[in-house]
Amino acid sequence: MKLQDLQKKNIGLVLSGGGVKAMAHIGAIKALHEYEIYADAVSGVGTGAVIGAFYAKGMSFAQMLDFFKETPLFRYSFFSTNKPGLFDTEKYLYFMSNYFGKDTFEAMERRLFVTVTDLQKGIPKTINSGKLLLPLLASAALPPVFSPVTIDGMLYADGGIMNNFPIEVLSDELDVVIGSYTSGMKEIGKGKLDDPISLAKRTKRLMLHANCREKLCAVDILFRPKDLEYIKFSDDLAVEKAFMIGYEHASRYLKEYVRA
Protein backbone atom coordinates (compact mmCIF):
# COMPACT_ATOMS: atom_id res chain seq x y z
CA MET A 1 0.00 0.00 0.00
CA LYS A 2 1.35 3.41 -0.96
CA LEU A 3 1.86 6.01 1.75
CA GLN A 4 -0.72 8.32 0.18
CA ASP A 5 -3.30 5.54 0.31
CA LEU A 6 -2.44 4.66 3.91
CA GLN A 7 -2.90 8.26 4.98
CA LYS A 8 -6.49 8.17 3.71
CA LYS A 9 -7.48 4.95 5.50
CA ASN A 10 -9.39 4.53 8.74
CA ILE A 11 -6.64 3.36 11.06
CA GLY A 12 -6.64 1.48 14.34
CA LEU A 13 -3.69 1.43 16.74
CA VAL A 14 -2.99 -1.40 19.20
CA LEU A 15 -0.64 -0.72 22.13
CA SER A 16 0.63 -3.59 24.28
CA GLY A 17 1.57 -3.42 27.92
CA GLY A 18 5.21 -3.33 28.92
CA GLY A 19 5.83 -1.00 31.85
CA VAL A 20 8.57 1.53 31.18
CA LYS A 21 9.35 -0.21 27.87
CA ALA A 22 5.95 0.96 26.65
CA MET A 23 7.42 4.46 26.31
CA ALA A 24 8.42 3.12 22.89
CA HIS A 25 4.74 3.50 21.93
CA ILE A 26 5.07 7.27 22.27
CA GLY A 27 8.08 7.21 19.96
CA ALA A 28 6.20 5.08 17.43
CA ILE A 29 3.23 7.46 17.44
CA LYS A 30 5.59 10.40 16.91
CA ALA A 31 7.12 8.65 13.89
CA LEU A 32 3.67 7.93 12.47
CA HIS A 33 2.71 11.58 12.78
CA GLU A 34 5.83 12.64 10.92
CA TYR A 35 4.49 10.61 8.00
CA GLU A 36 1.01 12.12 8.50
CA ILE A 37 -0.44 8.82 9.64
CA TYR A 38 -3.05 9.28 12.36
CA ALA A 39 -5.11 6.68 14.20
CA ASP A 40 -8.88 6.99 14.38
CA ALA A 41 -9.22 4.46 17.21
CA VAL A 42 -6.84 3.17 19.87
CA SER A 43 -6.91 -0.11 21.81
CA GLY A 44 -4.50 -0.36 24.72
CA VAL A 45 -3.63 -2.47 27.73
CA GLY A 46 -1.49 -1.77 30.79
CA THR A 47 0.85 1.17 30.28
CA GLY A 48 -0.20 1.03 26.63
CA ALA A 49 -3.75 1.88 27.72
CA VAL A 50 -2.52 4.96 29.62
CA ILE A 51 -0.49 6.11 26.61
CA GLY A 52 -3.46 5.34 24.36
CA ALA A 53 -5.65 7.56 26.53
CA PHE A 54 -3.15 10.41 26.35
CA TYR A 55 -3.06 10.03 22.57
CA ALA A 56 -6.84 9.80 22.32
CA LYS A 57 -7.10 12.99 24.36
CA GLY A 58 -4.76 14.82 21.98
CA MET A 59 -1.84 15.38 24.37
CA SER A 60 1.57 16.33 23.00
CA PHE A 61 4.46 13.87 23.08
CA ALA A 62 6.27 16.09 25.59
CA GLN A 63 3.26 16.00 27.93
CA MET A 64 3.08 12.21 27.71
CA LEU A 65 6.74 11.81 28.61
CA ASP A 66 6.48 14.38 31.40
CA PHE A 67 3.73 12.36 33.05
CA PHE A 68 5.88 9.24 33.29
CA LYS A 69 8.96 11.20 34.37
CA GLU A 70 7.17 13.18 37.07
CA THR A 71 4.63 10.73 38.49
CA PRO A 72 6.03 8.91 41.56
CA LEU A 73 5.47 5.22 40.89
CA PHE A 74 6.62 3.86 44.25
CA ARG A 75 5.88 6.16 47.17
CA TYR A 76 5.92 5.14 50.82
CA SER A 77 2.55 6.78 51.49
CA PHE A 78 1.01 4.67 48.71
CA PHE A 79 1.67 1.38 50.48
CA SER A 80 -1.53 -0.62 50.79
CA THR A 81 -2.80 -1.36 54.28
CA ASN A 82 -6.00 -3.30 53.66
CA LYS A 83 -5.89 -4.26 49.98
CA PRO A 84 -4.26 -7.24 48.20
CA GLY A 85 -1.26 -5.46 46.73
CA LEU A 86 1.93 -3.74 47.87
CA PHE A 87 0.71 -0.37 46.58
CA ASP A 88 -2.83 1.01 46.59
CA THR A 89 -3.55 1.62 42.90
CA GLU A 90 -6.42 4.03 43.53
CA LYS A 91 -4.07 6.46 45.30
CA TYR A 92 -2.64 7.28 41.86
CA LEU A 93 -6.02 8.65 40.80
CA TYR A 94 -4.99 12.18 41.79
CA PHE A 95 -2.02 12.20 39.42
CA MET A 96 -4.11 10.87 36.55
CA SER A 97 -6.87 13.42 37.10
CA ASN A 98 -4.38 16.27 36.66
CA TYR A 99 -3.92 15.24 33.03
CA PHE A 100 -7.57 14.76 32.10
CA GLY A 101 -10.22 17.45 32.15
CA LYS A 102 -13.26 15.16 32.08
CA ASP A 103 -13.23 11.65 33.48
CA THR A 104 -15.06 10.01 30.56
CA PHE A 105 -14.29 8.06 27.42
CA GLU A 106 -16.72 10.28 25.57
CA ALA A 107 -14.48 13.33 26.14
CA MET A 108 -11.67 11.80 24.08
CA GLU A 109 -10.86 13.10 20.59
CA ARG A 110 -10.34 9.53 19.33
CA ARG A 111 -12.19 6.33 20.13
CA LEU A 112 -10.47 4.50 22.96
CA PHE A 113 -10.70 0.88 24.11
CA VAL A 114 -9.14 -0.18 27.42
CA THR A 115 -8.60 -3.83 28.28
CA VAL A 116 -8.76 -5.00 31.89
CA THR A 117 -8.93 -8.39 33.59
CA ASP A 118 -12.00 -9.28 35.64
CA LEU A 119 -10.33 -11.15 38.49
CA GLN A 120 -13.56 -12.60 39.87
CA LYS A 121 -14.93 -14.00 36.61
CA GLY A 122 -11.49 -14.76 35.21
CA ILE A 123 -12.08 -13.07 31.84
CA PRO A 124 -10.68 -10.11 29.92
CA LYS A 125 -13.00 -7.14 29.47
CA THR A 126 -12.92 -4.16 27.14
CA ILE A 127 -14.22 -0.82 28.42
CA ASN A 128 -14.92 2.04 26.01
CA SER A 129 -17.59 4.18 27.63
CA GLY A 130 -18.40 5.87 30.92
CA LYS A 131 -15.77 6.67 33.52
CA LEU A 132 -12.22 6.62 32.20
CA LEU A 133 -9.66 6.90 34.99
CA LEU A 134 -10.45 3.84 37.10
CA PRO A 135 -10.36 1.51 34.07
CA LEU A 136 -6.99 3.04 33.09
CA LEU A 137 -5.59 2.41 36.55
CA ALA A 138 -7.01 -1.11 36.60
CA SER A 139 -5.53 -1.94 33.20
CA ALA A 140 -2.03 -1.14 34.49
CA ALA A 141 -2.44 -2.66 37.97
CA LEU A 142 -0.21 -5.74 37.78
CA PRO A 143 -0.61 -8.01 40.83
CA PRO A 144 0.83 -8.38 43.38
CA VAL A 145 2.68 -5.06 43.15
CA PHE A 146 -0.46 -2.98 42.63
CA SER A 147 -3.84 -3.67 44.19
CA PRO A 148 -6.87 -4.50 42.03
CA VAL A 149 -9.30 -1.66 41.30
CA THR A 150 -12.97 -1.86 42.25
CA ILE A 151 -15.38 -0.82 39.48
CA ASP A 152 -19.12 -1.33 39.98
CA GLY A 153 -18.42 -3.73 42.83
CA MET A 154 -16.06 -5.98 40.83
CA LEU A 155 -12.28 -6.34 41.06
CA TYR A 156 -10.21 -5.55 37.96
CA ALA A 157 -6.47 -5.73 37.32
CA ASP A 158 -3.89 -5.60 34.55
CA GLY A 159 -5.51 -6.49 31.23
CA GLY A 160 -2.24 -7.99 30.02
CA ILE A 161 -2.78 -10.97 32.30
CA MET A 162 -5.17 -12.37 29.72
CA ASN A 163 -4.78 -10.18 26.62
CA ASN A 164 -1.57 -8.23 26.14
CA PHE A 165 -2.34 -7.27 22.53
CA PRO A 166 -6.06 -6.37 22.32
CA ILE A 167 -6.55 -6.25 18.56
CA GLU A 168 -10.01 -7.89 18.56
CA VAL A 169 -12.03 -4.73 19.14
CA LEU A 170 -10.44 -3.04 16.11
CA SER A 171 -10.07 -5.75 13.49
CA ASP A 172 -13.52 -5.65 11.89
CA GLU A 173 -14.25 -1.94 11.78
CA LEU A 174 -11.11 -0.35 10.38
CA ASP A 175 -9.21 -0.48 7.10
CA VAL A 176 -5.73 -0.78 8.59
CA VAL A 177 -4.49 -1.89 12.02
CA ILE A 178 -1.06 -0.82 13.26
CA GLY A 179 0.46 -2.51 16.29
CA SER A 180 3.19 -1.46 18.71
CA TYR A 181 4.46 -4.36 20.81
CA THR A 182 7.04 -3.94 23.56
CA SER A 183 6.90 -7.28 25.37
CA GLY A 184 9.08 -9.31 23.02
CA MET A 185 10.99 -12.42 24.05
CA LYS A 186 14.51 -13.58 23.34
CA GLU A 187 16.47 -16.67 24.27
CA ILE A 188 18.44 -16.30 27.48
CA GLY A 189 21.25 -18.27 29.07
CA LYS A 190 20.66 -20.88 31.75
CA GLY A 191 22.56 -18.74 34.23
CA LYS A 192 19.84 -16.07 34.03
CA LEU A 193 17.36 -18.44 35.69
CA ASP A 194 19.30 -19.43 38.78
CA ASP A 195 17.13 -17.80 41.45
CA PRO A 196 13.38 -17.75 42.27
CA ILE A 197 12.85 -14.08 41.38
CA SER A 198 14.46 -14.37 37.95
CA LEU A 199 12.50 -17.54 37.26
CA ALA A 200 9.22 -15.89 38.28
CA LYS A 201 9.89 -12.87 36.07
CA ARG A 202 10.75 -15.06 33.09
CA THR A 203 7.63 -17.17 33.60
CA LYS A 204 5.42 -14.09 33.78
CA ARG A 205 6.86 -12.68 30.58
CA LEU A 206 6.39 -15.99 28.77
CA MET A 207 2.75 -16.07 29.82
CA LEU A 208 2.15 -12.49 28.66
CA HIS A 209 3.80 -13.21 25.32
CA ALA A 210 1.96 -16.50 24.76
CA ASN A 211 -1.49 -14.93 24.90
CA CYS A 212 -0.80 -12.64 21.94
CA ARG A 213 1.90 -14.32 19.83
CA GLU A 214 -0.43 -15.33 16.98
CA LYS A 215 -2.21 -11.98 16.98
CA LEU A 216 1.01 -10.17 16.14
CA CYS A 217 0.68 -11.59 12.62
CA ALA A 218 -2.81 -10.13 12.21
CA VAL A 219 -1.83 -6.45 12.08
CA ASP A 220 -0.95 -4.67 8.84
CA ILE A 221 2.06 -2.88 10.34
CA LEU A 222 3.91 -4.02 13.45
CA PHE A 223 6.50 -2.06 15.41
CA ARG A 224 8.53 -4.44 17.59
CA PRO A 225 11.89 -2.91 18.61
CA LYS A 226 14.38 -5.51 19.84
CA ASP A 227 16.60 -3.00 21.64
CA LEU A 228 14.00 -2.67 24.41
CA GLU A 229 15.45 -5.85 25.91
CA TYR A 230 18.27 -3.72 27.31
CA ILE A 231 15.98 -1.28 29.11
CA LYS A 232 16.05 -1.72 32.88
CA PHE A 233 13.21 -0.53 35.06
CA SER A 234 15.65 0.90 37.59
CA ASP A 235 17.37 3.08 34.99
CA ASP A 236 16.67 6.76 35.73
CA LEU A 237 16.80 7.52 32.00
CA ALA A 238 14.65 4.54 30.97
CA VAL A 239 11.66 6.66 29.94
CA GLU A 240 13.66 8.72 27.47
CA LYS A 241 15.68 5.72 26.26
CA ALA A 242 12.62 3.58 25.53
CA PHE A 243 10.94 6.52 23.79
CA MET A 244 13.93 7.01 21.49
CA ILE A 245 14.20 3.28 20.75
CA GLY A 246 10.54 3.22 19.74
CA TYR A 247 10.89 6.36 17.65
CA GLU A 248 14.03 5.24 15.81
CA HIS A 249 12.63 1.76 15.14
CA ALA A 250 9.33 3.09 13.77
CA SER A 251 11.11 5.74 11.72
CA ARG A 252 13.33 3.10 10.07
CA TYR A 253 10.34 0.86 9.42
CA LEU A 254 8.30 3.65 7.83
CA LYS A 255 11.25 4.81 5.75
CA GLU A 256 11.51 1.33 4.24
CA TYR A 257 7.72 1.14 3.89
CA VAL A 258 7.69 4.30 1.80
CA ARG A 259 10.48 2.98 -0.42
CA ALA A 260 8.70 -0.34 -1.07
Please report the pLDDT score of residue 164 as a whole number. 92
- Mind listing the pLDDT tens digit for each residue in 135-154? 999 999 988 888 999 999 99
Does pLDDT of 32 surpass 90?
Answer: yes
How many domains does the structure of the chain reveal? 1
Q: CA-based Rg of the chain, rounded to a whole angstrom?
A: 18
CA-nearest of 173, 204, 171 to 17 is: 204
Reply yes or no on whether the pLDDT at 76 is more than 60: no
What element of type H or E holds 179?
A: strand 176-180
The domain that holds 193 is classified in CATH as 3.40.1090.10
197 burial (CB, 10 Å; 0-12 / 13-18 / 19+) is exposed
Domain span at 147: 3-259
